[in-house]
């Protein structure tokens, strides 16, 4: 059963709105009384996912749902896609530009962190088309 479902739009390079999606998700989890340890993991994963869409993609959406025993986040963007997913998943690998690094991003830790925080993690990408990340958490 899905109790709550939200869909958010994220624009490329919209640093003004950075963190708004993950804040909204965190607020909902607090309202429905999710365990704080799970809230922490979901918050880290959703923030890193949101920032990657802002920084690396042409924009996209994040869908968030809470059921009775599971939290799911599906991120889908409009490209440019990831050529080598194994490489992108490596700690320290980043294609972030100088201007983005000056904002404090680009350590190459986002994707490995998302995977570490999640109970289920799936990433699929088609170059020139989209990247889809599905993240799940057991309650």
Ligand X SMILES: Nc1ncnc2c1ncn2[C@@H]1O[C@H](COP(=O)(O)OP(=O)(O)OP(=O)(O)O)[C@@H](O)[C@H]1O
Residues contributing to the site for ligand X (CB under 6 A): 48, 52-53, 55-57, 77, 80, 82, 88, 93-96, 105-111, 131
**Which residue, 72 or 78, is less far from ligand X as judged by CB?**
78
CA distance linking residue 76 with residue 74, whole number of Å: 6
Strand spans (E) along the chain: 2-10, 60-67, 70-77, 120-126, 130-138
Are the C-beta atoms of residues 122 and 60 closer than 8 Å to each other? Answer: no
What is the smallest separation between the CB atom of 111 and ligand X, expressed in angstroms? 4
Query: C-beta of 84: minimal distance to ligand X in Å?
Result: 9
Structure tokens belonging to residue 114: 């998302």
Of positions 46, 49, 52, 57, contacts Mg ion by CB under 5 A: 52
Partner interacting with residue 46 (select from ligand X, Mg ion, none; CB below 5-8 Å by kind):
none
Task: Name the helix (H) or strand (E) containing 101.
Answer: helix 98-102
Residue 106: CB minimum distance to ligand X, A: 5
């Amino acid at each position: 059963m899905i109790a709550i479902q939200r869909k958010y739009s994220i624009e490329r390079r919209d640093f003004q709105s950075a963190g708004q999606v993950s804040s909204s998700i965190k607020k909902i989890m607090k309202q429905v009384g999710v365990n704080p340890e799970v809230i922490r993991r979901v918050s880290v994963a959703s923030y890193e996912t949101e920032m990657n869409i802002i920084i690396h993609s042409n924009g996209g959406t994040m869908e968030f749902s809470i059921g009775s025993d599971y939290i799911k986040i599906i991120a889908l963007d409009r490209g440019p896609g990831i050529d080598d997913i194994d490489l992108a998943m490596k700690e320290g690998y980043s294609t972030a530009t100088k201007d983005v690094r000056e904002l404090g991003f680009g350590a190459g830790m986002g994707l490995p962190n998302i995977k570490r925080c999640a109970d289920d993690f799936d990433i699929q990408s088609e170059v020139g088309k989209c990247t889809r990340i599905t993240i799940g958490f057991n309650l």
